[in-house]
Amino acid sequence: MAKVIVMTSGKGGVGKTTSTAAIGTGLAMRGEKTVVVDFDVGLRNLDLIMGCERRVVYDFVNVVNGEAKLGQALIKDKRFDNLYVLAASQTRDKDALSKEGVVKVIDQLREQFDYVICDSPAGIEKGAQLAMYCADEAIIVTNPEVSSVRDSDRILGLLASKTLRSEKDLEPVKQHLLLTRYDVGRVARGEMLKVDDILEILSIPLVGVIPESEAVLRASNTGNPVILDSENPAGKAYADAVSRLLGHQVEHRFPSEQPRGFFARLFGRAA
């Protein structure tokens, strides 16, 4: 049974697209047939990070509007043959997608893939709501700062009311918290929020903590999702997050600056 996962945050620039590319690639590396879908119409970023921007002919908007067949718009990854990209359009505006059209295309993708990862645009308006509409699960991408946590909380509220699952009274969208750009030094100095504090506010299970790392920008610039770098802490943290998404128990490996009992509390919370 295919799973549709939305990567969402409310706030912009927190790492949704980076995480979509990394986790999508990671799932494919584990043998799951995966497609990453760019809902950020007008910006078109995901294809860049995935390193396939020079091969985009048709995009998601074309398929939703019936101007191209799904098969024509799916771009196969050069590294993994079970990984595909559905790019956004740079030339259309935000309102180019219709809800009915999106539902139809996502249903088609469900038939072909194990995982459909939807990269949401920022905000809480139509674009973000469309990206989450079909989701079975949601990864809430959050930075350790008050405004990002607040926006994530807002998005969690929308997930409970603006999705197909909520409308049909099905089991609610399963929620995962992904903390990104986590800078241990700044957290220790009190400039950023601690993991515990964020968990206390959002009260959803933690799927991963991605450290701030220069490797992320380098990876993006070369179109190689950071998860391919198995030596890098951010790459490793994404690999762990993928394991947890797949249902494996993986300890949160984490820098030593945290007090004792930290892991125990993390697991205690992740009910």
Ligand X SMILES: Nc1ncnc2c1ncn2[C@@H]1O[C@H](COP(=O)(O)OP(=O)(O)O)[C@@H](O)[C@H]1O
- The residue ranges that bind ligand X (CB under 6 A) are 9, 12-18, 45, 122, 180-181, 210, 212-213, 216-217, 220, 234
Per the CB < 8 A criterion, the answer to whether 39 and 88 are in contact is yes
- Examine residue 154 and tell whether it contacts another protein (CB under 8 A): yes
Contacted by 213, from another protein, ligand X, Mg ion, none: CB < 5 to 8 Å by type: ligand X
Q: What minimum distance in Å lies between the beta carbon of 47 and Mg ion?
A: 12
Site for Mg ion in 12-31 (CB under 5 A): 16-17
Contacted by 53, from another protein, ligand X, Mg ion, none: CB < 5 to 8 Å by type: none
3-state SS track over the chain: CCEEEEEECCCCCCCHHHHHHHHHHHHHHCCCCEEEEECCCCCCCHHHHCCCHHHCCCCHHHHHCCCCCHHHHCEECCCCCCEEEECCCCCCCHHHCCHHHHHHHHHHHHHHCCEEEEECCCCCCHHHHHHHHCCCEEEEEECCCHHHHHHHHHHHHHHCCCCHHHHCCCCCCEEEEEEEEECHHHHHCCCCCCHHHHHHHHCCCEEEEEECCHHHHHHHHHCCCHHHCCCCHHHHHHHHHHHHHCCCCCCCCCCCCCCCCHHHHHHHHCC
Q: What minimum distance in Å lies between the beta carbon of 131 and Mg ion?
A: 10
Q: What minimum distance in Å lies between the beta carbon of 123 and another protein?
A: 13
Q: Which stretch binds another protein (CB under 8 A): 17-25, 41-49, 145-153, 185-193?
A: 145-153
Q: List the one residue from 158, 177, 206, 210 that touches another protein (CB under 8 A).
A: 158
Residue 181 or 252 with smaller CB distance to Mg ion? 181
Contacted by 241, from ligand X, Mg ion, another protein, none: CB < 5 to 8 Å by type: none
- Examine residue 270 and tell whether it contacts another protein (CB under 8 A): no
Contacted by 271, from ligand X, another protein, Mg ion, none: CB < 5 to 8 Å by type: another protein
Instruction: Please tell me the distance from the alpha carbon of residue 53 to that of residue 171, in angstroms, as a whole number.
Output: 37
Site for another protein in 159-188 (CB under 8 A): 160
Contacted by 156, from another protein, Mg ion, ligand X, none: CB < 5 to 8 Å by type: another protein
Q: What minimum distance in Å lies between the beta carbon of 33 and Mg ion?
A: 23
Task: List residues binding another protein (CB under 8 A).
Answer: 124, 150-151, 153-154, 156-158, 160, 200-201, 203, 271
